[in-house]
Structure 1
Amino acid sequence: MRPSRPARAALAGLLAGSLLLTACSDDSDDPSAEGSGSPTSSAGTASASATPYLPVPEGVELTPQGSELEVGETATVAYEPRQDQVGVLSIRVDRIEKTSFKESFRGWQLDAATKKATPYFVRVTVANEGETNLGGRRVPLYIVDGRNTLVESSSFASRFDPCPSTPLPKKFGPGKKTKVCLVYLAPDKGELTAVSFRPTQEFAPITWTGPVEKVKKPGNGKKGKGKGGKNRKQG
């Protein structure tokens, strides 16, 4: 299934709004990825294919399309960040958190469309299993809302300590590993139903589901301390 044109328009409007999150008078940058389309769920676990859907290094086994994973499980995936490039990542969704603008976005200016959204934080561990430097690329994950629509992660022009939602490190070559927290805004008070890897419309999505937990309070983790109002420019 694909979203209707009105659904696309509403989502596009929200994503534009989500990027208007500002502290004081800072403007936000556009995300590098486009998220549209809705995932098609598969019944049970997909069977492995003998041929990878994209060329990957010898010894790398891709997680089958349509796989349904639990939070804490790892998928190895391949995608094309651009036409002449193949990236291979292992992705583990570690934690899904539901928050609120009042709790996590104090001091930030929000437009009307953004205020109607439900904010979520998704914490993941990512490792480069391929031969391509993926530095500076967005993590290719989306969330699925209750309307079966894909929602891309939001980005910030300024520092957002509770969940930075930044691209992969500038140098993220073969063998590199990192932890990332991504911010998602489910439109119109939507509910997160799954985290999804779906690089193209034709791809049967790999999804993660599990408990949606309370957001970690600032200062409880090793990183991300500080108030949301303290900002500096991010790449």
Structure 2
Amino acid sequence: MSSSVMRRSGRVKLASVGLVVVGSLALSACNGDDDAGKPVGGATPTSSAPSAQPSSQPSSQPSDQPSAPAGGGGTGGGGAQAKGGQTFKIGEAAQFPFTYGTTTKGEISLTVDAIEKGSAADLAPLKLGDKVSGKVPYYIRYTVKNVGTTDLAYASVSHMKGHLGDGSEAQDLMVIGSFDKCPSDSLPKGFTNGKTQKGCAIALAPSAATKVASAEYWGDPFTMGQGLFWK
């Protein structure tokens, strides 16, 4: 991941990690006491559940929604658009109107390609220490395709998070800078109709005995707990 903007608010090229979480206290890790609060070399895992919706509430992830056909539909593809709360199989595409910032609007097709279990050792270079002790990273790998008529250059398709097997929310870990295990960049220049790009989001399972079983996209026009689900 290079020369990118933070997935949810803009990303600059820094060798640091951090969490952007709704309704939670974001802390800052460091390499030493003199670096406390600095963005270089640190990260902070934390729950992303908003206070109005506890992360332990399994009902936030509906299981009775029918799966959409692969390839999805939307205004750009002539089919039905994905609806909030809808569940897809891993590898199926969901199409919906996409907004980034105040001026970038279009239509994308989003596919969660895989939810891969990593190793606790993967997090060692991030120097998080006890903050991730016992936790296991899972990599939510997805593909973005522009199926609309506008250029989505430099937009970020973020707001992707993991859910545990019981439906509760996994912790998020957002990396600023380069992390080879889970690279994710802003959409490139000239991201016009038909262009695709891979992305990745990190979710933390609380222990080796627990797995991240599903993923949710909750960006506009959706909301957390009522987004699009893949499992």
Query: Could you list the runs of 5+ residues in structure 2 that have no partner in the other structure?
Result: 1-21, 54-59
Matches within 5 A, 1:159-198: 159-186=178-205, 188-189=206-207, 191-198=211-218
State the TM-score, normalizing by the size of structure 1. Answer: 0.61
Check 1:166–1:184 CA distance in 2 against 1; reply closer, same or farther (3 A cut): farther
* In the alignment, structure 1 residue 155 sits paired with structure 2 residue 175: yes
Secondary structure in 2 matching 1:43: coil
* In the alignment, structure 1 residue 44 sits paired with structure 2 residue 65: yes
Secondary structure in 2 matching 1:154: strand
Q: What RMSD, in angstroms, separates the aligned Cα atoms of the two structures?
A: 3.8
Q: Contact conserved, 1:41 with 1:205, CA < 8 A, in 2?
A: no
Q: Contact conserved, 1:21 with 1:111, CA < 8 A, in 2?
A: no
Q: Contact conserved, 2:84 with 2:228, CA < 8 A, in 1?
A: yes
Matches within 5 A, 1:1-235: 8-9=23-24, 12-13=25-26, 16=27, 20=29, 27=40, 36-37=49-50, 39-45=60-66, 56-57=75-76, 59=78, 61-102=80-121, 104-130=122-148, 131-145=150-164, 146=166, 148-149=168-169, 151-152=171-172, 154-157=174-177, 159-186=178-205, 188-189=206-207, 191-199=211-219, 200-201=222-223, 204-209=226-231
Query: Deviation at 1:116?
Result: 4.6
CA–CA distance in 2 between the matches of 1:115 and 1:174? 43
State the TM-score, normalizing by the size of structure 2. Answer: 0.61
Q: Contact conserved, 1:136 with 1:170, CA < 8 A, in 2?
A: no
CA–CA distance in 2 between the matches of 1:198 and 1:147? 15
Query: Could you list the runs of 5+ residues in structure 1 that have no partner in the other structure?
Result: 1-6, 210-235
Check 1:8–1:203 CA distance in 2 against 1; reply closer, same or farther (3 A cut): closer
Identity %: 21
Query: Deviation at 1:67?
Result: 2.0
Q: Contact conserved, 1:197 with 1:206, CA < 8 A, in 2?
A: yes
CA–CA distance in 1 between the matches of 2:225 and 2:120? 33
Secondary structure in 1 matching 2:174: coil
Secondary structure in 1 matching 2:132: helix
